[in-house]
Amino acid sequence: MKLDNYIVRSNKIAWQIVDGLAMIVIPSEPALCALNSTATRIWELIGEGQKVDYIVQKLCAEFDVPEQEARDEAIGFIEELLSKGAVEIK
């Protein structure tokens, strides 16, 4: 995955924020996916149709983590979402 890729949510996914955390229904998954706070923030930023690099920079600023850690977290989660069809690269 490239840092200049735009990531968008699939229109096949149902989701809602409950008590500050995202709950996602992925048709290929047997259960509801409950996200932690970092994954929820990544999910929110994906909803803005942002580049991966923008998401990484926001994580650095908001969670006060080193860039490499934010990059690893963001890319790992986005790749997992891609593999499940929850997001797409535009």
Domains and CATH numbers, the chain: 7-89 (1.10.10)
- DSSP secondary structure code for residue 41 in this structure: H
CB-based contacts of 72, cutoff 8 Å, min separation 6: none
pTM of the model: 0.93
Q: What is the pLDDT of residues 8-42, one digit of tens each?
A: 999 989 999 999 999 999 888 888 899 999 999 99
Contact, 88 vs 40, CB < 8 A?
A: no
Helix (H) / strand (E) containing 83: helix 67-83
Q: What is the pLDDT of residues 44-86, one digit of tens each?
A: 999 999 999 999 999 999 999 999 999 999 999 999 999 999 9
pLDDT reported for residue 66: 96
